[in-house]
Each structure stands twice: as structure tokens, then as C-alpha cells.
Amino acid sequence: MATEYMELGWIGEKVSRIGLGVWQFSESWGVTEYEDAKKIVEAAFDAGINFFDTAIVYGMGKSEEFLGRAIRELGIRDEVFIATKIPGEMLARDDVFKATQNSLKRLGVDVIDLMQVHWPPCWHNIPTCEYMRALEQLVLQGKIRYIGLSDFPVELVEAARNCLSTTDIVSIQIRYNLVEREAEAELIPYALQNDLAVIPWSPLAKGALTGKYTPENLPEFQDVRAREPLFTRENMEQIYEVVKVLEELSGKYGKTPAQLALRWLLDAYPNTLPIPGAKRPEQARDNAGAMGWSLAHEDWLRIDQVSRRVKISRVTY
């Protein structure tokens, strides 16, 4: 399997261009047995993935625990990059230290490679510089190596960076996939100008781009997708126009629609590192197979054009 690496933002550290998101290791998505999680981590690593994204809130710590244990048991700590996230509710100065300490313990590591602020503090009125400087101190103490931001608008990314004096953030994590392209307006150009890595989450639109789901064949989701606007009939009818093109190109490239959807993101910008989630080892392997080849420009443009027509509505009631 051909791995493909990129340098992560300005730090120049080598990471695989496809990562593995492990929110799936939680009740939200349904991988709740450790042995199942371990097989997914192993399959991803064997297929060339060395970047793993978790968060404190995923399964209230379960995802961190499973990921850390799998990495330890597989003996691959020195070869992987572990990214986790601290939620917007835990950003008071003392909480940043406490939460990081708990994360280190759950992951079973001495240092976290990338600590991301999961989302800005929305309702506790914590000043931006309070948590950014606490994170900076954690870098100086050697508890975390790098800082990233997730789900921040550009204005707040700028404000957060201005709080730091001895380091800078290395990445922004954003909702970005073929049918949700809002980040192209401001966030991605900003990241390119400032040498920051872009980590697209839900890069497969939560499975809507894989070809498994059609407007006529939509399960009653029992997981986090039960209330996901992407899966309304109105939105799925539009998304399916993109899926049809991916399916058509599947034969030409010998790749699955999921691989084509991920490859499109990789070819769109040089600094993207999508982190598809996988519920089974085969999915992790399939997603890793988006690395090591490229779309012909005319095919990239064809997907681009059909995807530009999609206008997802999040008004569901």
C-alpha cells in the first residue's frame, strides 16, 4: 500500500496525508469493544496511516483510552502522531492543566503530539488568551508538543495566535468535504498563507459520499447521524448527484467512491490531512488507499463542478 506523507504546517514533521479519526470509538458511532478498536488502529497503521485524531469528549474518554492502549500494545508509539482535543467547556486556566493531565493518563503517554482546542468557549466567557497561554505553558513544560485549533473562525484564529509569544499553532481542524465547502472562503486560504495544516473532519460527509446511502435507501440511523441534516431527503438528493459521478469514475481508477472523495480533498490543496473515521478495519484500509495516486485534472474538475452545485440546508424543522 502506497503511503503519502506531508509536512505538518510550519513544523515540518512528516505525517501521512490521510489520518484516522477515532470518534467512532464511542457510543456515538458504536465501536465500544476494545478489541474491535485495536483492529481498526492496526489496520490503519499497517496501511500507512501514522496520524490519529481523538478527543476528550469522544465516549467521555473511552476513545482516548482505546487509542492509547492499542498504540501501546502494538508497540508503535514512536512511529505515530497523536492528536487530541480539549472541549470548549474545559478552558479555564486550571482546567486546561487538569484536562491535559487526564488525557495523558488515559492515552498512557508522556507527551501529546497535538493538543487542539475542540471549539471556542461559547458560554463560559473565558478570555482567549487565558487558555492559549495555558496551552503555551504546557508546551514549555513538555506535556504537549504542538497546539491546534478546531472549529474556530478566522478572526478568532488570529486572536488566539496573537496570545502566543514562544510558539504558534500548527493546524486548524475544520468541517470540510465535497458537499460542505464553506471553509474554502476564508479558513483554507488563511491556513495556506500562514503555513498551517488543514485537518478536514467528516471528510466523507459522515458516510454520505461513500455510495452506500441513497435518497431511496436511507436507514433509520441509530447513531449520531439520527439528527444529521446531511441525511435529509432534500440534502441527500443533491449529494447523490456527486456520488453518481464518483461511482462513474470508480471504474476508471479502480478506486471506491470513498477513496475518490478523499483523493479530491488531497488534490485540492497541498496542506490538507483528512481524518476519515472507520467502524471496521476494511474501512480504514480503504481510506488509506486514497494515498499514493492522483486524479487527472479533468476528473478533479468534473467532481469540483458537480459538488459546487450542492447547497446543504441545515434548517430541518
Ligand X SMILES: NC(=O)c1ccc[n+]([C@@H]2O[C@H](COP(=O)([O-])OP(=O)(O)OC[C@H]3O[C@@H](n4cnc5c(N)ncnc54)[C@H](OP(=O)(O)O)[C@@H]3O)[C@@H](O)[C@H]2O)c1
The verdict on 207 binding ligand X (CB under 6 A) reads yes
Judged by CB under 6 A, the residue of 258, 273, 295, 306 near ligand X is 258
Question: Would you say 137 or 279 has its CB closer to ligand X?
Answer: 279
58 among known catalytic residues? yes
**Catalytic site residue from 5, 34, 58, 240:** 58
Task: Please tell me the distance from the alpha carbon of residue 316 to that of residue 219, in angstroms, as a whole number.
Answer: 17
Judged by CB under 6 A, the residue of 8, 230, 278, 288 near ligand X is 278
Per-residue contact flags (x/-) with ligand X for residues 40 to 79, judged by CB under 6 A = -------------x--------------------------
Min separation Cβ 165 and ligand X, Å: 26
What length is written for the chain?
A: 317
Task: Please tell me the distance from the alpha carbon of residue 133 to that of residue 165, in angstroms, as a whole number.
Answer: 9
Judged by CB under 6 A, the residue of 38, 62, 106, 206 near ligand X is 206
Min separation Cβ 211 and ligand X, Å: 8
Per-residue contact flags (x/-) with ligand X for residues 4 to 43, judged by CB under 6 A = -----------------xxxx----x--------------
Question: Would you say 126 or 178 has its CB closer to ligand X?
Answer: 178
Q: Which stretch binds ligand X (CB under 6 A): 94-102, 153-161, 196-204, 246-254?
A: 196-204
Pairing of strands 20-21, 51-53: parallel
Q: Which stretch binds ligand X (CB under 6 A): 88-96, 97-105, 121-129, 275-283?
A: 275-283
Judged by CB under 6 A, the residue of 43, 205, 291, 306 near ligand X is 205
Q: What end-to-end distance do the CA atoms of the chain give, in Å?
A: 45
| DSSP β-bridge partners for residue 7 | 14
The interface with ligand X within residues 129-168 (CB under 6 A) comprises 150-151
In the numeric block, which cell numbers belong to residue 42?
492496526
Judged by CB under 6 A, the residue of 173, 271, 272, 307 near ligand X is 173
The interface with ligand X within residues 99-128 (CB under 6 A) comprises 118
Closest CA to 172 of 130, 118, 95, 125: 118
Classify the C-alpha dihedral 261-262-266-269 as positive or negative.
Answer: positive
Question: Would you say 141 or 314 has its CB closer to ligand X?
Answer: 314
Judged by CB under 6 A, the residue of 48, 59, 68, 276 near ligand X is 276
Task: Please tell me the distance from the alpha carbon of residue 314 to that of residue 279, in angstroms, as a whole number.
Answer: 25
> What are the catalytic residues?
58
Positions that interact with ligand X (CB under 6 A): 21-24, 29, 53, 118, 150-151, 173, 201-207, 210, 212, 258, 275-279, 283, 286-287
